[in-house]
Structure 1
Amino acid sequence: MAFRVSDKILLRLEWPELIERLAAHTHTPRGRARCATAQGGATPQTLFAQSLEAALALLRETSEARHLLDQGQAPPLGGLQDLEPTLRRLGKGGVLGARELLDLRAALSALHATERFLSRQAAEAPHLLAHAAGIADLRDLEDEIDLCIEAEGEVRDSASPALADARREARGLAAELQRRLDAYLRDPEVVAALSDSFVTMRNGRFVLPVRSDARARVRGIVHDASGSGTTLFVEPEAVVELNNRLKQAELAVERETLRVLRALSEQASRELLALEAGLSALEAIDLAFARGWLSQEMDAVEPVVRREGVFVLPQLRHPLLLPERVVPNDLRLGESYTVLVLSGPNAGGKTVALKCLALAALCVRAGLHVPAAPGCRADLVDALLADIGDEQNLRESLSTFSAHLANLARIVEEATPHSLIVLDEIGVGTDPSEGAALAQAILEALADAGARVVVTTHFNLLKEMAAVDPRFANACVEFDPDTLAPTYRLHQGLAGVSSATAVAARMGLRPEVLERANVLLERDDRRLDHTLSELASNRAALERERSEALRLRAESEATRAEYRAKLAKLEARREELFRRMREDLDQAFRGAHAEVAAVIRDLQRGGGARDAAHARERLQSLEAEADAAAQAAQAESPMPEPPACPVNWREAKPGDVVRVRGGGDAVLVALPDRRGRVSVQVGAARLVLPMDRLAAQDRPTPGDAREGAVDARRGPPKVAVELAEASRAVAEKAALGEALPTCDLRGLRVEEALGRLVVSLDRAALAGQRSLLVLHGLGSGALRDAVRAHLASSPYVVSFLRGDPQQGGDGVTVARLEAAEPRDR
């Protein structure tokens, strides 16, 4: 259904002023024309969408334009001229002048630039880009105009060969004429007859200024005379033919120029429909960005629009008031009631609130954002009906009250469920009791019609309607009882006090007059006003307490945020300290490993029993240091050690997986001996540990730790195990124990196999073995290659070769070791 609103209502709501602000943001003549104020001050109705779909489309375009403007992006629309006369002339087959063609070229350039701009923003402005689809590619016309017309508005010589030839001839003839006439100016006899020494033009021909009394001295044609008649402008006889030739050349230039302009005009007229469509698209884009600019200016948002008769407008503001001075208010209508009765003191903001709602409804129809909080909702009404201001009509001999009644009668007849009706001070201008009764009857009729109504009043009878009719609800503008001044804040659900005596006191009325007015006030009205005043005072106190609670809550949240930030900083510092500690421990373990290697090399080079004992003590010391470092890392680790579960030794058997307390997993090799010591395999190392150092394996462990990393959850690092193995190797050397001649790596992963190979090489070197048989098998060859690569870099190994066929061939490698006695390699 088409939208209905009268020009008079638009004027009363100050809608033209808002459209003037919109027009200030347009950049095209058509855009400005759409916003132009019509005669009488009303704005054209064409700004309003006539359907829900059209209104939603306008709002989406406004939101896209606002988004681009917020990012500093705007289309190049400036500097365009009004092309309506030009298009009309083209439509009649007329020829455009050079300046008109330049204006047309500027419009074509803006069309193509805008189309490119929106194409680059396709993802963020799809609805605006849809308008760009109406812009045809007219670059051929733009280029042709550019080739033929100079920026100064002259047709270029290069526009056609004939024009270039004609102009060349005309310039040559003009120069020859000037030369001949200059010769006259050098002739003493002629100079004596002249009134001035210059060559001028009359009727398109070169002439000399000759004194009238010396006319006979210069033979030729008189073309003009001065106002006083003392000077005659004479074309000398000798240059008449040359002037004739020049005139013919100039006519040829004019004919060819007209031919060029006509050709360009005909080319433009063939694209007239495309030009009209393109300029219409440019107008729509211009208006969309103007609405986007206005949305920025008002700090407005896109409302949720439905046809449900509901308005939910939090933080609603009047769009024409300065943002720093306006008081935002929450306004709701149509959810559970259809008539909102606004009451409160005069000059308290009732009429402003009423106009805010009406302007919000108009904004929705015009595709403008609403100056309210995000998430606001508005209804798309079919009609906006109003009774605001002085309705006196002297021409029809109607008093103010009669004019109001005539308007109200028309509103009652036109009201529908999709109408928004705003009524300011209904029922005033007659006996208050009759006016109140009449107002109640009119509001009930409007509620029966299903219309959405906002009404301002001072009648207590209307304030009481909310208590007896669920279609009615109260709202009031706040009045500060301490300052006796309005605060302009709106509160829904409560009726307001008119506070006429308080306002009169603020305006300076004498106290005795005020006292008399209070005495005259009817007892029921006085009681109701007193009750409402108490409610207002209590509400103000509660509001102050609420504001204080919100302030304290905000302070608490700020304090919590500050301490959370400090805690996060401490946690980050703690993690950094642990990282540095792990790095220091890694470095210390690497140093210990180097010392182990040095001790072993000393023993290889012939150390005796005393040296072996000294080495064993040093290695035991290193092992103790490594254990202490690992335990310290475990104690300082942010990851707590889970409680240990003791090993059930009655059910335990070799091959079971157990956990070393404070360390990683191990495999039982043998059950505890008489002294309570248990032999376990940790990686490639075999250790003997006390029973109480072991616990049952109670959590999955594969892949938990990186090799060589210090992790309290996985126990001592690899170097600690190597220290223990080296210590045992030294003990074996001191006791002259037998070294193992064979290292079996079959079935192991490369990492495990290399660990076992290192230990076997250490033992073989300490035992003085001259060779070591390494069993690695054939398989894919990866283990064999890794073993031989390690042997090639080992300080113990002199050389190595593949095994004999009887030893296993390529599945075996025999390593020759450096002898215990030092010798050159």
Structure 2
Amino acid sequence: MDARTFARLDYPEVLEALARSAATPLGARLARRLRPVGREDVVRRRLQATDEAVTFARRFGPPDFSGVGPVADAVRRAKKGGLLYPDALYRVLSFLRGIRRVRASVRRPDGTEATFPALVRLSDRLEAPAALYEALAGAIASESALKDEASPRLLELRRRLRAIDGEIRETLERLIRDPETRGALQEPVIMFRGGRPVLPVRADAKNRVRGIVHDVSSSGQTLFIEPEAIVALANVRRTVEQEAAAEEERILRALTKEVAQAAVPLLVAEAHAAALDLLFAKAAYALAHGHARPNLGPPGGPVALYDAYHPLLGDRAVKNDLLLEAGVRLLLITGPNTGGKTVTLKTIGLAALMAQSGLFIPAREGSTLPVFDSVFADIGDEQSIAQNLSTFSSHMTQIVAILKRATEKSLVLLDEIGAGTDPAEGVALASAILEALAERGARVVATTHFGELKALAGERPWAVNASMAFDRETLRPTYRLLLGVPGASHALEIARRLGLDEAIVRRAEARIGAEGRQAAAVAAELADRLQALERERRRLAAEREALEAERRRLEAERERERRLLSERLAAADARYRRRLEEAVRKGEAIARELEALHREAIAAGHVPPTVKPHEWIDRVGALRRAAAEAKAAADEAAPKEDRARGGRKPSPPGGRLLPGATVLVRSHGLKGTLLELRPNGEAVVQLGVMKLTLPASDLVPVEGDKPPAPAGGVRVTVERRAPFEVDLRGMTVEEAREALDEVLDRALLEGRDRLVVIHGLGTGALKRGVAEFLRRHPAVKRFRSGEKEEGGSGVTIVEL
């Protein structure tokens, strides 16, 4: 593949468009140098890398390449011993910062090695020499200046300069404020001449300001005088300034030496930054224009380009299907002039060049191309007066060169083959050339106006006719490619519609003959039918594409909802883990407190030292139970009116236990809420922040205590085989949403599929707020108002 072929197929223009998609001059330069390769394994790697960049850009956006620019010139200058000034060093520093940022962007914390191996491999080569980076970051302030902190000596000298400048400014301002001096000035400002501070003094008052004249205005009316009071200070400043300049040069030489020492890693990083930018330029170009990754077929396999178009035509491009079955060696395209034959040739050639350069192609997904070892093109007129070449001679020169180099893996594109000479000889020569190329196994796409060549394509099993469609009503080409049918030039119809004398047109038709006219009419009718079929096929294809797009949208929506649900479950799990950890910490704190109390009891002599903490706790529990039983017996023996005055009293041990009731835990002497009664005789009780499983026989129901009222709080009822219930009455909408969110998380974690939300009637605001929240929650399948027996409009039934 040579530069002439690239130029004939508009490949340089495609590369220029690609370069405009690059983020850096490095990537743009590499894009303009991009060339196709003929090895299938290399092409596959190129396309895979581009595919990774497209996927990455869709998911995360492209990396930020700001600051990543060329540093090779600065590195070479440093290697040769030249001095790098702040602007060059700043470019190196910006480059190092940029590649650090790009590397961090590609190697994301969520793990990209498996999904984007090619991108990660390139980014891993973006190594910023740590010592050089630290040295430059600590010394370079901007493109024109070093930091004060570049060295302790420079910091000291610049502080001295600022102190001297301040003293000079104060002295000059004092002089300006002095009435005698002020009267001698053209204007009360401080100026500089030759790096020295001066005052603009009127020529007629020069004797009133003693000092050194450094300059005179062009009119001679103003003298720029450095006052005598600051001459000594200015001299000191000049000396310090020279010392600071010497220190800056020393620092610059030291930094230049470090750049030279890091030359190899810098140049390697620059090359890989360019390669990475080129990959993302390929991705940006593909995404911006809707290009697709081609499939690679075997050598000699089918060429199948669906909805292919010329990438430089933009919205004007007409998409066509270009199909060559395996075993088909020649596609012969006929049709009227300016009907799109040459554009079709370029479209096929560009698709091959782009694919083998690792670019996505301007065609629909599913398009397939084999890898060609070479692409040859004879397109356009290269006649040359200087070389004494006619149109025919220039074509023959190109075809001779193609015949010498074409192989069974080559793609050959021939425009108007056999044109430019005697038609009979041109047909004979074109037929022989096409047969020779087919015998070699090359894939050939050619255009022609010769009817005899159409017959050749119809007779040979390795050849297929095609034509560019033509609208006979408007006399305009449609640029649609019709496969399997030869086309016509439609010259007589065009001439008639354009006003050529009818007698002349009829005379021309007579010379064609009845058989020729009949063949042309049949071909035209066949072309019209094929166009109608093609329009119908495209309509169905558009519908299929719309349905496929809707399917992809629904899949993406489902995946988004699944991800949101997964995130909410993870968040809920994390919340409950935090609560569990908090309960454990509180339990440990209680245990430590009990141990401390145990030690205090031993120290006070209330407990023998031989009694272990758990034994002491058991004794305390036994004492509390005995006290509770004694109090219960005393209450039972007391008169009825005394019990009434005493309020709520424990009922006898045999009383009825119900979930939600307040109970007395006799072994601990504490009150709690009964959550669950189990068939095995155990009960689950909530005691403060702790939930305990105890024998039901250890519980005594407390008379008069009922489950807490719903207003102002959340009550979640969790019963075996019963749905979740959450009571939101008395809450604001925001409070209700937070409570409902927490309950939904818990219901999901416990595998529940139904939730009853009690919100009451009221003004309806709370119910509307609940409905809006449920409508957006990914865990909610559907919800409805309760039936009459479920609570009516005061409740909402939620299916999860």
Query: With structure 2 as the length reference, what TM-score do the two structures score?
Result: 0.63
Aligned 8 A contact 1:122 1:129 in 2: yes
Specify the code of the residue in structure 2 equivalent to 1:473: V
Rounded Cα–Cα distance in structure 1 between residues aligned with 2:421 and 2:359: 39
Specify the code of the residue in structure 2 equivalent to 1:31: G
Q: What is the correspondence of 1:162-561 to structure 2 with a 5 Å cutoff?
A: 162-187=153-178, 189-191=180-182, 193-212=184-203, 214-306=205-297, 308-320=299-311, 325-333=316-324, 335-481=326-472, 484-522=475-513, 525-540=516-531
Identity %: 37
Instruction: Give, in angstroms, the shift of residue 246 of structure 1.
Output: 0.8
Confirm whether residue 5 of structure 1 aligns to residue 10 of structure 2. Answer: no
Confirm whether residue 133 of structure 1 aligns to residue 121 of structure 2. Answer: no
Specify the code of the residue in structure 1 equivalent to 2:520: D
Aligned 8 A contact 1:313 1:372 in 2: no
Rounded Cα–Cα distance in structure 2 between residues aligned with 1:542 and 1:398: 45
**CA deviation map 1:688-729 (0-9, x unaligned):** xxxxxxxxxxxxxxxxxxxxxxxxxxxxxxxxxxxxxxxxxx
Specify the code of the residue in structure 1 equivalent to 2:319: P
Q: 1:299 to 1:178 in 2, by over 3 A?
A: closer
Rounded Cα–Cα distance in structure 2 between residues aligned with 1:500 and 1:104: 65
Specify the code of the residue in structure 2 equivalent to 1:97: Y
Rounded Cα–Cα distance in structure 2 between residues aligned with 1:375 and 1:366: 18
Instruction: Tell me the equivalent position of 1:695.
Output: none
Instruction: Tell me the equivalent position of 1:66.
Output: 54
Confirm whether residue 95 of structure 1 aligns to residue 83 of structure 2. Answer: yes
Rounded Cα–Cα distance in structure 1 between residues aligned with 2:439 and 2:76: 53
Specify the code of the residue in structure 1 equivalent to 2:22: T
Rounded Cα–Cα distance in structure 1 between residues aligned with 2:406 and 2:72: 41
Instruction: Give, in angstroms, the shift of residue 146 of structure 1.
Output: 2.7
Rounded Cα–Cα distance in structure 2 between residues aligned with 1:221 and 1:438: 95
Aligned 8 A contact 1:309 1:381 in 2: no
Task: Find 1:108's aligned residue among 89, 93, 96.
Answer: 96
Instruction: Tell me the equivalent position of 2:628.
Output: none
Report the 3-state secondary structure (helix = DSSP H, G, I; strand = E; otherwise coil) of the residue aligned with 2:404: helix
Rounded Cα–Cα distance in structure 2 between residues aligned with 1:218 and 1:479: 94
Instruction: Tell me the equivalent position of 1:818.
Output: none
Q: 1:506 to 1:142 in 2, by over 3 A?
A: farther
Rounded Cα–Cα distance in structure 2 between residues aligned with 1:458 and 1:218: 96
Report the 3-state secondary structure (helix = DSSP H, G, I; strand = E; otherwise coil) of the residue aligned with 2:192: strand
Rounded Cα–Cα distance in structure 1 between residues aligned with 2:531 and 2:210: 105
Q: 1:297 to 1:240 in 2, by over 3 A?
A: closer
Rounded Cα–Cα distance in structure 1 between residues aligned with 2:237 and 2:505: 98
**CA deviation map 1:153-184 (0-9, x unaligned):** 53222222211211111122222223333344
Query: With structure 1 as the length reference, what TM-score do the two structures score?
Result: 0.62
**CA deviation map 1:232-290 (0-9, x unaligned):** 33334443322211111111221222223333332232222111111111111111111
Instruction: Give, in angstroms, the shift of residue 389 of structure 1.
Output: 1.5
Specify the code of the residue in structure 2 equivalent to 1:70: R
Q: What is the correspondence of 1:604-623 to structure 2 with a 5 Å cutoff?
A: none
**CA deviation map 1:482-532 (0-9, x unaligned):** 555433322322222222222334444444432222112145543432332
Task: Find 1:26's aligned residue among 22, 25, 28.
Answer: 22
Instruction: Give, in angstroms, the shift of residue 301 of structure 1.
Output: 1.8
Q: 1:371 to 1:192 in 2, by over 3 A?
A: closer
Q: 1:482 to 1:181 in 2, by over 3 A?
A: closer
Q: Which moved more, 1:309-318 or 1:60-69?
A: 309-318
Aligned length: 554
Q: What is the correspondence of 1:757-796 to structure 2 with a 5 Å cutoff?
A: none
Instruction: Give, in angstroms, the shift of residue 79 of structure 1.
Output: 4.8
Aligned 8 A contact 2:305 2:321 in 1: yes
Instruction: Give, in angstroms, the shift of residue 363 of structure 1.
Output: 0.3
Task: Find 1:75's aligned residue among 60, 63, 69.
Answer: 63
Q: 1:276 to 1:321 in 2, by over 3 A?
A: closer
Rounded Cα–Cα distance in structure 2 between residues aligned with 1:268 and 1:474: 64
**CA deviation map 1:524-580 (0-9, x unaligned):** 5434323322432444465578789x69998xx99xx9xxxxxxxxxxxxxxxxxxx
User: Which of 1 and 2 has greater Rg?
Assistant: 1
Rounded Cα–Cα distance in structure 2 between residues aligned with 1:149 and 1:266: 15
Q: What is the correspondence of 1:554-569 to structure 2 with a 5 Å cutoff?
A: none
Instruction: Tell me the equivalent position of 1:699.
Output: none
Specify the code of the residue in structure 1 equivalent to 2:268: A
Aligned 8 A contact 2:88 2:143 in 1: no
Report the 3-state secondary structure (helix = DSSP H, G, I; strand = E; otherwise coil) of the residue aligned with 2:107: helix
Rounded Cα–Cα distance in structure 1 between residues aligned with 2:71 and 2:695: 88
Aligned 8 A contact 1:477 1:489 in 2: yes
Report the 3-state secondary structure (helix = DSSP H, G, I; strand = E; otherwise coil) of the residue aligned with 2:477: strand
Rounded Cα–Cα distance in structure 2 between residues aligned with 1:67 and 1:312: 26
Specify the code of the residue in structure 2 equivalent to 1:456: T
Report the 3-state secondary structure (helix = DSSP H, G, I; strand = E; otherwise coil) of the residue aligned with 1:26: coil
Aligned-residue RMSD, C-alpha: 3.4
Specify the code of the residue in structure 1 equivalent to 2:96: L
Instruction: Tell me the equivalent position of 1:578.
Output: none
Specify the code of the residue in structure 2 equivalent to 1:10: F
Q: What is the correspondence of 1:555-704 to structure 2 with a 5 Å cutoff?
A: none
Task: Find 1:144's aligned residue among 108, 124, 135.
Answer: 135
Instruction: Give, in angstroms, the shift of residue 25 of structure 1.
Output: 1.0
Q: 1:124 to 1:503 in 2, by over 3 A?
A: farther
Specify the code of the residue in structure 1 equivalent to 2:90: L
Q: 1:435 to 1:248 in 2, by over 3 A?
A: same
Q: 1:225 to 1:541 in 2, by over 3 A?
A: closer
Q: 1:334 to 1:395 in 2, by over 3 A?
A: farther
Rounded Cα–Cα distance in structure 1 between residues aligned with 2:202 and 2:541: 98
Aligned 8 A contact 2:96 2:128 in 1: no
Aligned 8 A contact 2:67 2:98 in 1: no
Instruction: Give, in angstroms, the shift of residue 12 of structure 1.
Output: 2.6
**CA deviation map 1:294-352 (0-9, x unaligned):** 11123222222255033422314224355654332222336112121111233332222
Instruction: Give, in angstroms, the shift of residue 23 of structure 1.
Output: 1.4
Q: 1:355 to 1:316 in 2, by over 3 A?
A: farther
Specify the code of the residue in structure 1 equivalent to 2:64: P
Aligned 8 A contact 2:38 2:374 in 1: no
Rounded Cα–Cα distance in structure 1 between residues aligned with 2:209 and 2:542: 106
Report the 3-state secondary structure (helix = DSSP H, G, I; strand = E; otherwise coil) of the residue aligned with 1:208: strand
Q: Which moved more, 1:356-365 or 1:508-517?
A: 508-517
Specify the code of the residue in structure 1 equivalent to 2:2: V
Report the 3-state secondary structure (helix = DSSP H, G, I; strand = E; otherwise coil) of the residue aligned with 2:66: coil
Rounded Cα–Cα distance in structure 2 between residues aligned with 1:791 and 1:264: 82
Instruction: Give, in angstroms, the shift of residue 228 of structure 1.
Output: 3.0
Report the 3-state secondary structure (helix = DSSP H, G, I; strand = E; otherwise coil) of the residue aligned with 1:273: helix
Rounded Cα–Cα distance in structure 1 between residues aligned with 2:228 and 2:105: 64
Report the 3-state secondary structure (helix = DSSP H, G, I; strand = E; otherwise coil) of the residue aligned with 1:71: helix
Instruction: Give, in angstroms, the shift of residue 74 of structure 1.
Output: 1.2
Rounded Cα–Cα distance in structure 1 between residues aligned with 2:334 and 2:492: 16
Specify the code of the residue in structure 2 equivalent to 1:75: P
Rounded Cα–Cα distance in structure 1 between residues aligned with 2:178 and 2:316: 83
Report the 3-state secondary structure (helix = DSSP H, G, I; strand = E; otherwise coil) of the residue aligned with 1:371: coil
Q: 1:144 to 1:790 in 2, by over 3 A?
A: closer
Rounded Cα–Cα distance in structure 2 between residues aligned with 1:166 and 1:551: 77
Instruction: Tell me the equivalent position of 1:577.
Output: none
Aligned 8 A contact 1:199 1:206 in 2: yes
Specify the code of the residue in structure 2 equivalent to 1:166: L
Q: 1:301 to 1:259 in 2, by over 3 A?
A: same
Q: 1:435 to 1:140 in 2, by over 3 A?
A: same
Structure 1: gaps of 5 or more residues: 37-43, 562-782, 794-825
Q: 1:70 to 1:323 in 2, by over 3 A?
A: farther
Instruction: Tell me the equivalent position of 1:573.
Output: none
Instruction: Give, in angstroms, the shift of residue 461 of structure 1.
Output: 1.3
